[in-house]
Structure 1
Amino acid sequence: MSNPTYFATLGDVVGNAFDYIICGGGAAGLTLAARLSEDPQVSVLVLDAGRANLDDPAILVPAQYYRQVFDERYDWSFTTVPQKHCNNKSFMWARGKSLGGSSAMNFFVYSRPAAEDIDAWEELGNPGWNWSNHLKYMKRSEKFTPPSPIQTEVFRQTYEPEYHGDKGELQVGFPILITDYEVPFQEAFNSLGVPTAKEPLGGNNYGTGMAANTIDPTTKTRSYAVTAYYLPNKERTNLKVLLGAHVNKLVFKSPVKDDLLTAEGVEFSCEGGVHVVQANREVILSAGGIKSPQILELSGIGDPAVLTPLGIDCVVPLPGVGNGVQEHVICPVSFELHHKDGGYNTLDILRNPAVAEAEMKRFEKQEGIHTLGLSNFTFASLQQTSHAAQDLIDAVSLKLDRDHTEGRISDALWDQYKIQLRVLRSEKSVDLEWMILPTIGTRGTVPEDGKAYLTIVIGLNHPFSRGSIHIASTDPQQQPLCDPHYLENDFDMQLLVEGFKFARKLTETEALKSIIAGEIDPGSEAQTEEQIRAHIIDELSTTFHTCGACSMLPREKGGVVDPALKVYGTTNVRVVDLSIVPLHIAAHTQATVYGIAEQAADLILGKI
């Protein structure tokens, strides 16, 4: 399928030089490209391995969750290595391969972290990376549509204008259709002591409420990096986007000057050949949490213990590359709903092909199930939701302190753990998350026609386990070894167990008794700690928020980039994507990625 004429051809790129070369056209890459190319005297090239996939219903129409997964037109389809603490299972890591990256295939959820999550980045040695700045840059990208009167009155959705942008590119608002059980779930959480969040996008996301979605209020379709940042600027003569261009490695000048390397270009594969394009100023990696560390290692930047056995000359010894990986994990618990005349607003109706076809036609009129968004999200603390919280926190604190004293935990990791432990001790922290999925979300039961289901998904926001992403070959087309070390730190499992128990308590409240007929996965027979743990391992999944492999930290603490996002040991290579996040956040990550890219643009342009 040919691309529109405003995309670059290989001939537009080969033999030419560009001021900035951005490797990856995802949320961060396209945001940067738009900002840097605002100056008509500056030339910008984006190299992206994917397809355009413009005007594609699989991308644009809400409620198409998982439709793109495992389809090579949209998904990189990474997999992890077998996980020792999960019965040696491998896990699927879906990542967007279309132009727009994962912003083209995420679940539309727009959430922001707690202020303390971002302030922790600055505490770890990154001046300027704090909540105040991050909020400013998230607002810059945002064009917010306030909730409608019915959403405010019926669904209790409130907001505070000072936390929102109205001139940005990314459309942020609330879905038209809300599930029948939005209010009952809020009431259930309230009855167990979790309040309704007044403004979850303002730095305090503690509580329950409706999540914002990245849906255009006019078209009711996905707003993402392509529609927000690329298409409005596609006619700029100084901005080129080359699709089907797989970045292999960076090309450095020789000899080395002042012990620092300068990238002079990028090697990439396209249309069956290998090519090099020259960079006049900078090369920026925005290839995402998995591909950016891979490109660095293929370029000779990383741990000699990884590179030397593969025959790669280590031009910048940087052991932090590919390490410090953190990932959000989730566990679903599914329930059958009581029969209700007229049915429920759940995705279960789409199992009927005739209904599915009819609903797509209804969407053309901006109505029906495809205007349904993921709505109820709740963030709360272990302290608030578990009677065992203090004993669990005391035990993990003692263990980690002992491990550090005896040398099993580095000083750098101990700095991170101290922050995590401090947060855990707060009654208003947001270590745990509960999401409501309007369908069956477990693998153990085949749904029955005519029945409706919902799934409570328990999420772990601040994992203690740390993993790695490293190359296993000099072949750029081969997937790296993704090893998140899921549940290696047993406290991660303990948090999920307590979150699971709290999910069950919710369904026993008066607010939900009239809606939920019964638990189907794992079922009421799973009562012991051992049975609950077995269910968690069986159903464990991820929200695809991999961070940390190119951490923004001091070099001596395992850092890969400095606070200007420049790779240590280089003069002009930066990383701008989720991989730079040194300590994970309690949020779904697209708002943060846009904010990182907006701040990076100002750093690159010398505005801060």
Structure 2
Amino acid sequence: MSTPRFAELDDVRDHTFDYIICGGGTAGLTLAARLSEDPTVSVLVLEAGKANLNDPAIMVPGAYLQQFGNPEYDWAFMTTPQERCDGKQLMWSRGKSLGGSSAMNFMSYMRPSEKDINAWEELGNPGWNWSNFLEHSKFGERFTPPNSEQTSLYHHTFNPEYHGTKGELNVGFPNSIMLGEVKLQEALNNAGVKTLQDGCGGDVNGAWMAALTIDPKTRARAYAATAFYVPNADRANLHVLLEAHAAKIVFENLAILDVAGPRRAVGVEFFHNGQSYVASCRREVLVCAGAIKSPQILELSGIGSLDVLHSIGVEPEISLPGVGENAQEHSLFGTSFELDPNLNWDTYDKLMDPTRAAAEMALFTEKQQGLFTMGLATLSCIPLQTVSAEAMSLISDQRSNIESQLKDGKINEGLGEQYRLQLRSLEDPSQVDLEFTVFPAFFTFRSTPEPEKAYMTILSVLNRPFSRGSIHAASASCLDPPVIDPHYFDDDFDMKLMLEALKFLRVLRNTEPWKSIIAKEVDPGPAVQAEDEMREYIKQSLTTIYHTCGTCSMLPREKHGVVDPKLKVYGTTNVRVVDLSIVPLHVTAHPQALVYGIAEKAAALIKQG
């Protein structure tokens, strides 16, 4: 394959394009591919990162975490000190390569529940419902079913009704998984958790072996760059400028025109090699920079809370107090277990030995086999009622708490609507509240793994936080990272859910057949028993799972919405946001498939005019 073509600065500065896309990530490249299908329109993508194509740190599935914290690949954002986590700051990694976070995620491919998506329509977004979403989500998918060995050994199953086969994005199953995951799934069944045939069909209540975005022939990562840019790089109307930081949207000067009303974007200012330039726009500016950077771009463009804009010295264009607010983030903590040393285990722990790692990389390169092809498969999403005998009491107390805050005016009615939908989900035994997923290695940070031993870490994930955070520009410079304050555990109900997750894992640890393969719990360890000890462990171990949403919420404007159901920014005629930031109420899912689906729907909306 020839080297893909990229734009040069002279191809972009002072030129005019029909569409300018700020961000060449998961959504941005999908959108660029769809819009540039029309040869009569021109599309410019401004991507702040490098191409990093064919890079083993991206392409090799088992090379997890090699990119994390490395500025060549990772924005490595830091949160503010978190008051309810003893002042801890967390690193929020996000992809800084062509393809964005699809170039560095853990490749899980699942969809939210049907009720999760339908809740968006209830919040005031006609057309954003499950059936509509599923149609768009399947469009770009190229699904490869598991072979007979994958089905019999690893329990990989699927329902063809929920998959597309003619799209560009490869979705399939890994060569292998760690066999302890099969034992865990069987133990979950014995603990009352059903097995799902497929996690892409609108029901995520149960345990299943998830599909991944993986090329079935090369066993390499499949992501937005390989699916949506590389095959289309020769399109004369598609231009991608790398290392170009979108700074702000340029609007038509209403004072000169002597008119009032919604603002019309006429271009984008961007930084390249430390210099500022402008690219002009005929039709639309599409902000696809993700839930962390998209609100920053809007604020630097004069769109947001007047207080925030004044504090960073930006002249207001449009008052939208919801910009950067309503941030919702999936978070997790790990519980690590040592596996029975009398059994032979293939886990990523073996890659800590440089000699073994080199041999495994050679095996991957030459034969597409070995540890580097092993995937993270087990997902289990479980209702609180299954996890905890205290579920209904906890939910009742939380409902009383929310209604009291509404009555006292501590939360507004718009947020109250979201909370009531969350409470409804908690009370619905078909809906899920907690997720448990597996990392086949030692992946906690309190203890130190012992050489030659094998470990299995269960990640307990909070998917429906009641705590709401914010993300705002720190200054008028696009090169300064935004201020990220997730407000972890502002609502103590989030901590209570995590406590119930830890208690459940300890019950599951004594459930066969998983019980028979576990030697011992390492972190937090059997000494941690009292509630205050468990709380402290969760706070110390808490980390993000990189699923932020809500900072440019698709809600009615009077309810602190930022975009309307067509994803247009309120107060503008031709600016849309297309990424995870538009999600108004978080979902129980790893959101990769969700973002691709949002981009496909956005492309259809744009083409409709």
Give the TM-score normalised by structure 1: 0.98
State the partner residue of 2:282.
Answer: 280
Residues 22-37 of structure 1 mapped to structure 2, 5 A cutoff? 22-37=21-36
Is structure 2 residue 69 aligned with structure 1 residue 70? yes
Specify the code of the residue in structure 2 equivalent to 1:485: H
- 1:129 has 2:131 as partner: no
Letter in 1 for 2:599: A
3-state SS in 1 of match to 2:189: helix
Q: Matches of 1:421 and 1:384 in 2, distance apart?
A: 16
Please tell me the residue identity of whatever aligns with 2:512.
E
| Distance in 1 separating the partners of 2:125 and 2:160 | 29
* Counterpart for residue 347 of structure 1: 348
Please say if residues 154 and 176 of structure 2, whose CA atoms lie closer than 8 Å, have aligned partners that are also in contact. Answer: no
Partner AA of 2:179 in structure 1: D
Letter in 2 for 1:238: N
Which one-letter code corresponds to 2:144 in the other structure? Answer: T
Give the alignment of 1:125-524 within 5 angstroms.
Answer: 125-255=124-254, 257-341=259-343, 343-364=344-365, 365-524=367-526
Residue matched to 1:111: 110
Report Cα offsets for 1:412-465 as digits up to 9, x if no partner: 000001100000011121110000110011111111110000101100111100
Deviation at 1:5, TM superposition (A): 6.3
**d(CA) in 1 for partners of 2:411, 2:555:** 17
Question: C-alpha separation between the residues in 1 aligned to 2:312 and 2:216?
Answer: 51
Deviation at 1:279, TM superposition (A): 0.2
Contact residue 469 and residue 485 of structure 2 kept, 8 A = yes
CA shift, 1:310, in A, is 2.4
Q: Is the 8 A contact 2:157 2:209 kept in 1?
A: no
Verify the 8 A CA contact 2:207 2:380 in the aligned structure 1: yes
Hey, what does 1:12 align to over in structure 2? 11
Distance 1:200 1:415 in 2: 27
Between the aligned partners of 1:515 and 1:335, the Cα distance in structure 2 is: 10
Deviations 1:162-218 (A, max 9, x none): 111000111111101111112211111011100111222100011011011111001
CA deviations 1:514-538 (Å, max 9, x no partner) are 2110001110011111111111001
Partner SS, residue 510 of structure 1: coil
* Aligned-partner Cα distance in 1 for 2:407–2:481: 37
Pair 1:58 & 2:96 matched? no
Q: Secondary structure at the match of 2:219?
A: coil
Letter of the 2:455 partner, please give it.
Y
Alpha-carbon distance between aligned partners in 2 of 1:52 and 1:121, rounded to the nearest angstrom: 34
Letter in 2 for 1:506: L
What pairs up with 1:85-104 in 2 under 5 angstroms?
85-104=84-103
Note the C-alpha offset of 1:409: 1.1
Which of 561, 582, 594 pairs up with 2:563?
561
- The letter of the residue matching 2:529 is Q
In the alignment, structure 1 segments of 5+ residues that lack a partner are none
**Deviation, structure 1 residue 147:** 1.5
| Counterpart amino acid of residue 233 in structure 2 | K
Q: State which drifts further: 515-524 or 177-186.
A: 177-186
CA contact (8 A) 2:439 2:458 kept: yes
Deviation at 1:471, TM superposition (A): 1.3
2:306 partner amino acid: P
Q: Tell me how far apart the structure 2 counterparts of residues 184 and 288 of structure 1 sit (CA, whole Å).
A: 37
**Alpha-carbon distance change, 340 to 168 in structure 1, aligned in 2, over 3 angstroms:** farther
Unaligned runs of 5+ in 2: none
SS at match of 1:472: coil
SS of alignment partner, residue 324 of structure 1: coil
CA separation of 1:104/1:5 partners in 2, compared to 1, >3 Å: closer, same or farther? Answer: closer
3-state secondary structure, aligned to 1:223: coil
Q: Distance between the aligned counterparts of 2:82 and 2:590, measured in 1? A: 24
Q: Which amino acid in 2 is paired with 1:61?
A: V
SS in 2 for 1:313: coil
- Deviation track 1:52-106 (CA, whole Å, cap 9, x = no partner) reads 0011000000111111011111000100001111111111000000010000000
SS at match of 2:608: coil
Q: d(CA) in 2 for partners of 1:141 and 1:465?
A: 34
Q: CA deviation at 1:259?
A: 1.4
Shift >3 Å, 4+ stretches? none
Deviation of 1:14 (Å): 1.3
Amino acid of the structure 2 residue aligned with 1:197 = L
CA offsets, 1:205-253, max 9 Å, x none? 1101101111100110000000000001000000000001011111111
Q: Using the alignment, how far apart are the partners of 2:313 and 2:455 within structure 1?
A: 53
Question: Contact (CA 8 Å) 2:156, 2:173: kept in 1 or not?
Answer: no
> Which deviations, in whole Å up to 9, do the C-alpha atoms of 1:316-375 show, x marking residues without a partner?
00000000000000010011111135x212100001100000000010211100110001
Q: Distance in 1 between matches of 2:231 and 2:312?
A: 43
**In structure 2, what is the Cα distance between the partners aligned to 1:157 and 1:296?**
43
How far apart, in 2, do the equivalents of 1:259 and 1:59 lie? 46
Cα distance between partner residues in 2 of 1:378 and 1:340? 27
TM-score when scaled to structure 2?
Answer: 0.98
Distance 1:4 1:268 in 2: 25
